[in-house]
Amino acid sequence: MMKEFEKLVEITDTLNGPKGCPWDKEQTFQSLRPHVLEEVHELLEAIDEDSTEGMVEELGDILFQIVFFGKLGEKSGRFNLQEVARKVGEKLIRRHPHVFGDAEAKDASEVIHHWERVKAEEKKERKHPLEGIPKTLGALARAQKIVGKMIHKKIPFPKKELATSLGDQLLDLVIQAQEEGVDAESALRTALKRYEALFKS
């Protein structure tokens, strides 16, 4: 595995080197944002289709993006791949005290409890629980994250009689999905595939 990873790093170095690709050498953190998003969505599609070949290809594309970002960080003097790997390794150890420490976790809910507790200790500068939810998430996925936080914090939802708009009705469905442990985004994509099939029949 290390051999293949080192080869990918070498290829990325060549692409960014003096005789490398003009397009690659012009890229910045900002210019790569849409490509990162596209690659993640392509991976989601491969997962939805349960395509082994697709997952291997798309994970490879995402791995290349990570290496490429690491090289951009190195070139700008801001960070490098070693720092990225070290930071995530340290975080995983901290957030799994039931594996790397003395804590115990009998089931997945206790694992989540440990994760959230350690995360809260790490992110003390956050003023409220919603600060950790990316603003760039799609509305449906963001809604489910917020609903999940409300349930976890036992914050009551607005009264049903106040839910009059279509948006409120959609949120009711998101609440239902969260309570049933269903990923609303995935459920909608799956249902949409049946409608898309009508155009192909």
Give residue-wise pLDDT tens across range 160-178: 666 678 888 899 999 999 9
182 token code pair: 């269903």
CB count in 10 Å sphere of residue 124? 6
Domains and CATH numbers, the chain: 2-84 (1.10.287.1080), 134-201 (no CATH)
Tell which phi-psi region holds residue 94, choosing left (phi > 0), alpha (psi between -120 and 50) or beta.
alpha
pTM: 0.78
Q: Lowest mean pLDDT: which of 57-71, 76-90, 116-130, 183-197?
A: 116-130
User: Residue 201: pLDDT above 80?
Assistant: no
